[in-house]
Every structure is written in C-alpha cells, then in structure tokens.
Structure 1
Amino acid sequence: MLKVVHINTYDGNGGAGRACLRLNLALNEIGDVDSKVVVFYKFGQNPAVKTFTNTWFKRGRAAAAIITERLLAKRYLKPVKIPFSFTWFGISIIKNPKVLAADVIHLHWVNHSFLNPKHLAELAELNKPIVWTFHDSNAFTGGCHVRYTCDHFERSCGDCPVLADAQPNDISHQIWKQKNEAYQQLNFRIIAPSSWMKASVLRSSLMVGKQIDIIPNTLETNIFQPQNQQEARKKLDLPKDKFIFLTGFMPSKKDSHKGAAYLLESLELLVAKNSIDPSQIELVVFGNRNTEDMPVFPFKTTFLGTIKDDEKLAACYAAADAFLIPSLEDNLPYTVMESLACGTPVIAFTTGGIPDMVQHLHNGFLADYKSSESFCEGLEWIKNYPVKEALRQNAHETVMQKFSEKVIAQKHSELYKSLISHG
C-alpha cells in the first residue's frame, strides 16, 4: 500500500491544518493509501497525529522560535494586517522515521519557524516524490501570505509594501533568493486548491518550470450536511421567523483582509433602500473573540463567539438563510464550502477561489469585487428569491459533486501513484 506522510505546522489550527487533517481522513477511507500526519507543533489530543517536537524540550524550543519570530517581525513590518513570514528559524525533518518510511512526502503549510528554505532543500536528499499544496501565497513570494494587488513576486520581490524599510535589496528580496536557491535543488509537484491559486502560481518568478495540478480541499460531508432549519435554530436559541444572515470572524471595522467594512456598508445600504423590514432580519456572527471592537450593525446582531465543535458549526450554517463572506482575497475558504455543504447559499465577492465553489445565481451570488452596492444586490436577491429550497439543494449538490471526500481523495491518490510510477 502506498505510504504518504502529510507535513504541516499545526494540527487543525487554521484552514491549512484543517485541510491537511481532512485529506488524511479521506485518503485512509478509500483504502489504497496509508496516510499519516506529522506536525511541527501539536495543540490537539488526536493520537493519530504525530509531531516533530515530541519532547518537552523540543516543544519548548519550537514555541520559543514561533514567539521570537513574531516579536522580531514587528521591528521590520509596517502596522498593516498582511501576514508575512520570515526564514530565521527552522528544523530538519529528514531523519524522522515517518518521513523516511513514506513513499510520498506531502507538504502543506510549513511557516512559523518550521521549514525554512534551507530545511526544505534538504528534502531532496531523500530522493522521494514531493507534493506541496499551496494554501496561500507564501511559498511563491518573498514572505507575504496575502498579495492583494502587489506584483513584485512576478520578479524577485524587493521594495516590499509590507516592510517598514522597503528597498530593492530588502528582506523580501533576500527571502526570495533563499527560496529560489532551495527550489533549484528541490523537485516538487504543486497542488493548487483553486484555479485562482494556479493562475497566481504561474505568474511567480519562483515557480518557473514547476508542474501544477488543481485539486480542491475536502471536508466531512457526514457533519456538514443539510438539516432541518427550525431544529438548528432551536439548538442555537435563534428566532424561528426571522431571515438570518450568518457571517464569520470580523475583528473590526478597520480590518482589511476579511473586508468587514464592505459588509457593514452593504448592510447599511440594504436598510437605506427601505425595501425590507429591518426588524425581520437578524445578523449572526461566529468566530469573534470578543465584541469590544465590533462595528454597530443596522440589524439585531447575535455574537456566537469562537466555535470549536464542527457539529455546532454545521448547525449555524443550517440555521441561516444565507452565509455572507466579504473576504477580499482567499484561496478556497472553508467557510464557503462548509456553508454550501449544509445547503446554505453564499453571498461573496468575486475573488480568489470562491468562484470555484459559488456559481452565480445558482447556489449563491458573486458580487463585483469591493463593491458594497453589488454585495447589497446579493443580499436583496437572496432575501427575495422565490424558491429558496432550490438554492439550498443546488448548494449541497455542488459540494457532493466537486468536493466530497471520495472525489478529492481519489484525485490525490491518482497523482501520488503517477509520481511513483514516473519516479
């Protein structure tokens, strides 16, 4: 049986961690792949997930490196909400028994003082096929994870808009050079979870000549599935007779990456049009860590806080009439896939990998990028749609046909086997 080891910084923390664990489960289900996960820093208690920092000393050293990188980063970065990773720290994994036993090494998200360019290049010594899923842009930039309109990664970075001391030979250019040297030594096959990510990779100066496959992420369709809306609302103590808009983590009105300001403006536009009765609408927000830095919304708002239980999260989607995601750049956001799987239509901007999941006027509404007016049109459209059950059915079918565990696991299995046979 083909042995695959998945390598990620964390176990389930963030979208990449969840994608890694979900793929691992899906691969073990299909029966022809022996899949394992090893992470840099383990938070959870799952005994099936192994860690490279399996002693108190190694774990402490890892935590210290992660924290030190964050503290040092503040000296170099502008006060902007764009994540950026440095390459100061890292560990070697080429002597780990799970890595040595694998037929295929599958990399996922490896930042936060885990695999820097030097330690990535070492993997070439193992002479094994390497697959790397790009969950964000960091692997092919000089440090940033979210690019927005910056095109410096098409050249060799430098003059980085995120750095306080931007110049042609700045840290982003130095990191670009480190990655370029490592990638010259390391042969790997890229998986892009979305067509947008593939198009981005093809523009990168670091990825010239690399082969790319589009294979989306998957999720647990036995958990994220349609359920009775009224029963879901009862579980969450939400009103039975209101139209419920659901949205995710929004730290503040000033937040840039999640687009909270656009959502707020579109909701205010909806009220200003006088086309609906505001008392019949409720906004439900999950993922907020607190309510202190929240804008004032024009509708009654319920904050559910951080939800760590997937079954409760699925009930949130099922309870809602529509899920709103004003994100300005996202690869293949899980919240969209989870919502659709639960049969809940999605209103989103036309950006990133979202159009791979949301089909305009079929299972949701794709608003013009950064247009609050267009997003507001989507809110009106879903509120007034005559046959909402048809939208819910379309949403669920999209996930089952394109993103279900069996479909995605099979695509990965075929790719692994092709790399072994052409090895």
Structure 2
Amino acid sequence: MVLHLSNFHLEGGAGVAAARLHRALLKSNVESALLVSTLTAEEPGVSSLSQNALQSKKALARFIGERLYFYPQEKDPAVRFAFSPAEFGADISNHPLVQQADIIHLHWINFGFLSLDSLDKLFSLGKPVVWTLHDMWTFTGGCHYSRGCGNYLTHCHYCPYLAKPEEYDISFQQFERKQDIYGKAKMALISPSHWLDGLVKKAALTAHIESACIPNCIDTELFRPLDKIAIRKKLNLPESKKLILFAGANIADPRKGFKYFRQALAKTGVLVSEVEVMVLGKANAAFMASFPVPVHYLGKISTSEAMVEAYNAADMIVVPSLEDNLPNTIMEAMSCGTPAVGFATGGIPEMIDHQVNGYIALQGSDQSLAEGIEWVLHDENNAKMSQNARAKVLGTYAESLVAAQYQQLYQSLLTHE
C-alpha cells in the first residue's frame, strides 16, 4: 500500500496535486491512501489526523506554533509564509496507516503537519520514501522559493528571509538537521518539472539522492472543452468580448505577478472595447482599482466543476508567476482547450510550447507579456492552438500516464529493498 502524506487535501496547488495522484493510482488498481491534516470533503481512501475537536485544536496549535516560532525572526511580513522552520508537527510514526504502508509518499508537509522530528521518526522506520516536491523547501534551509539566493547549492546561512541573517542562523540549523535525517532514508525525490529536478540535482542536500521528473496529473474527462457561449450565458459574462483569465490562490502574493498582468493589459494594442478580464482567487478591491479594462471578479472557486466553467469561458489564461513549479492553473486551462501565456520561469516553459499552444514571455517583462496576450488574441490559428493545448495535456499529464510512471518507481524501490 502507498500512503500519501499531505498537509492539505483539496486546498492549494500541492494539496490538489496529491489528491489527484491518489485518485489516479486508485483508477490504475494501485492500493493507495491519503492522510491529511484536515479533510476538505469526504473522499474514498482519504483520512484525516483531525478526527475530533481536540485533534483539530492540536493541528491549529501546531500551525500557530510554527508561525510564532518564525515571527520574531522574519525579515518582514511579506515573507511570513515563505519560510517554514518545521519545528512543530505531528508524530505519525505509529499511525495505523503508516504502519501498514509499504511506501511512504510525502507531498507538501509544512505549516505544522510534519516537523523535522516527525520526518526523522518516519525515515527511521526503514520504509521506502518517495517525496514529490512542490517547491524548493526540501533542499533549502527553510525557504519555499530561494528568490535568487544560491546558498542552498553549498550550505544555507545568512538567510535573506531573516531579520538578522547570521552564519549559524536558523537556515544553517535546518540545513544541518536535514542533512542528518536524509541520511537515514531510502528515498527518491520526484519533481513535477524538469526545472525543479535540475535544482534537486545541484543542491548540496539532495545531489546524492535518487531523483527524477514525473509531472502532476489531471482528470482529462473532468477538465475538458465545453460550449463557450453556453457557459458565458450561464455566468452572465459577455458573449462577444475576448475574455482573459487570471487565476491565483492569493492575488496579493507578489510571486504571482498580478502587477505585470495589469501593466501588460495597459500596453496591449488590443482595443479596450474588445477585451474584458476574469479574475479568480483571493483578492481585494484595491487590486481591481484603476484596472485598464472591465473586470469580472469570480472570487475563490472551490469546486472543480466551477473551475472547468471558468476556464471554458475564457479565450486565454495569463500566468505571470515569477517563480513556479508546474502550475495547476495552466494544466487545467489547457486541458479545457484554453491557450496560456506565461513567463519563462520554473516549469512554465515545459507546459506552454511557444506559439503552439500559447506564448512564453520574457520573465518580468510586462511588454513581452503584452505582446503574448496580443498574439494569442489575434492569432488567426486560435482554434488550432486550442486543439494543441488539449493535445499537450492528453499526451503528457493524463492520469494513466503519470500513474504508470509512479507505479514503476514504487516497484523499483520495493524490489531493491
């Protein structure tokens, strides 16, 4: 049995990716279970650490403990959730599912779900471990994205996320701790993007550990092309306009690049009367103020069905992330036949084939982003681009393809025990 461990169930990109892989494995007749901190919804094979009110309070206390531990050391509030000290977490080494598991499969385990001590106890069980990385935290001294810092290539210290960076600061201490506990595990590190796998292979903590690239997967029967006009009527969206979608869990996060999206729209040669914008995710009125084109704010959508409708209503999606692994939003949109525009960063260029199923813009350039938006909207081959987007997902990210790659990895780890 494969046991997946993820703090989140259906929240955030990593939580969604973990649940999707669990489902894909079940469809491929692999015995799979998923253990999360708190259930988002009842689902076969998914269990929660928080089975009662007391356990829920303990989970909240672990999360608060993590943040309070880091709070006096943070450089500023903007980095508050961008660094995880992993000081607080649940000891699940004796959990029945852990004891039954043949393979332990880690996903995103921060924010009080598992601590470094928790990982130490899990690794000491001697079971094979697969760890799917959803950011850089596994091989850094605590940051989820390094923002240009290269200390993780040698040894973390003088961390730019800290108010008082020092030679032996908490990034140095976490790096040392990880170095110690990783030596106890029979582990394979899996990155959804070749970009992240390349960093794993260079990082001092992980260069010696078996690693490979296996993408996230998606249910292509659920995320599929639908009747665009019918959906726009249902959602009270204009039928004759070009609709551009921006989707982000938290639009205020600078890493998501919303400001570049706004600036790019102001620079496009597209007539303002022809274009309107759909915004999906957590946002506030200030982000919509003085927007260069009319905005339809859809809010935070939690159901897959509503997401499918939003993607199908759009003519394109723009993902101007400054750092990202393998964004679910691009995969989901393309699976619905919606072309994507994004920056040349992280795993995004692996998903978008330039001027085939979308457009890759120069990183951090609102002018290049504007040119991409204009190109997609005015491209005479738009229908072909939509078909290409769908075909890319079917040939790369379909559940059966990804599940087969993981099955092969699991078998390899079990065979060489």
What TM-score, normalized to structure 1? 0.95
Alignment partner, residue 110 of structure 1: 109
- 2:391 pairs, out of 388, 397, 413, with 397
CA-to-aligned-CA distance 1:115-174 (integer Å, 9 cap, x gap): 222221222332221100001111111111111211111121111111111111111111
Q: Does 1:239 align with 2:238?
A: yes
* Aligned residue number for residue 68 of structure 1: 65
- 1:351 aligns to what? 345
Give SS of 1:249's match: strand
SS at match of 2:363: coil
Using the TM superposition, name which of 112-121 and 289-298 deviates more: 289-298
Aligned partners of 1:26 and 1:47: how far apart in 2? 12
Asked if structure 1 preserves the Cα contact closer than 8 Å seen for 2:246 and 2:279, the reply is: yes
Alignment correspondent of 2:321: 327
Q: Which moved more, 1:277-286 or 1:118-127?
A: 118-127
Residue segments in structure 1 that go unaligned for 5+ positions in a row: none
Three-state SS of the structure 1 residue aligned to 2:72 is helix
* Deviation digits for residues 27-76 of structure 1 (CA, Å, limit 9, x no counterpart): 01012x10111112334333631123333322211111102322342211
Alpha-carbon distance between aligned partners in 2 of 1:276 and 1:43, rounded to the nearest angstrom: 41
1:413 paired residue among 407, 414, 417: 407
Partner AA of 2:71 in structure 1: K
Task: Determine the structure 2 residue equivalent to 1:376.
Answer: 370
Corresponding residue for 2:201?
Answer: 202
Moved more, 55-64 or 236-245: 55-64
Residue type at the aligned position of 1:41: T
Q: Is the 8 A contact 1:194 1:331 kept in 2?
A: yes
Task: Give the 3-state SS of the residue equivalent to 1:37 in structure 2.
Answer: strand
The CA deviation at 1:178 is 1.2
Aligned to 2:7: 9
Quote how far apart the aligned CAs of 1:380 are: 1.2
2:39 aligns with one of 38, 42, 48: 42
SS in 2 for 1:400: helix
Equivalent position amino acid for 1:345 in 2: P
- Give the Å deviation of 1:81: 3.1
Aligned counterparts of 1:5 and 1:255: Cα–Cα separation in 2: 32
SS of residue in 2 equivalent to 1:248: strand
Partner residue, 2:258 = 260
Aligned to 1:286: 280
Identify the range of structure 1 (240-249 vs 111-120) with the bigger mean alpha-carbon deviation: 111-120
Shift of residue 396, structure 1, vs aligned partner: 0.3
- 1:144: which partner in 2? 143
Q: Is the 8 Å Cα contact of residues 251 and 294 (structure 1) preserved in structure 2?
A: no
Aligned residues: 415
Shift of residue 250, structure 1, vs aligned partner:
7.8
Structure 1 equivalent of residue 192 of structure 2: 193
Tell me whether 66-75 or 365-374 shows the greater mean CA deviation: 66-75
Q: Which of the residues 293, 297, 300 maps onto 2:294?
A: 300
Asked if structure 1 preserves the Cα contact closer than 8 Å seen for 2:87 and 2:116, the reply is no
Question: In the alignment, what sits opposite 1:339?
Answer: 333
2:84 corresponds in structure 1 to 85
Post-superposition Cα deviations, 1:290-310, rounded to whole Å, max 9, x if no partner, equal: 324434211111101001111
User: Secondary structure at 2:99's aligned position in 1?
Assistant: helix
Distance 1:42 1:187 in 2: 29
Moved over 4 A (4+): none
**Cα pair distance change 1:117/1:288, threshold 3 Å:** closer
Q: For 2:195 and 2:250, locate their aligned partners in 1 and report how far apart those are by CA, in whole Å.
A: 26
CA distances 1:241-268 after superposition (whole Å, capped 9, x unpaired): 001111113856x742111121111111
Q: TM-score, normalised by structure 2?
A: 0.96
2:48 alignment partner in structure 1: 51
Which secondary structure state, in structure 1, belongs to the residue aligned with residue 288 of structure 2? coil
How far apart are residue 239 of structure 1 and its match?
Answer: 0.5
Distance 1:390 1:320, change over 3 A: same
Instruction: Report the more deviating stretch, 341-350 or 112-121.
Output: 112-121
**Partners of 1:77 and 1:162 within 8 A in 2:** yes
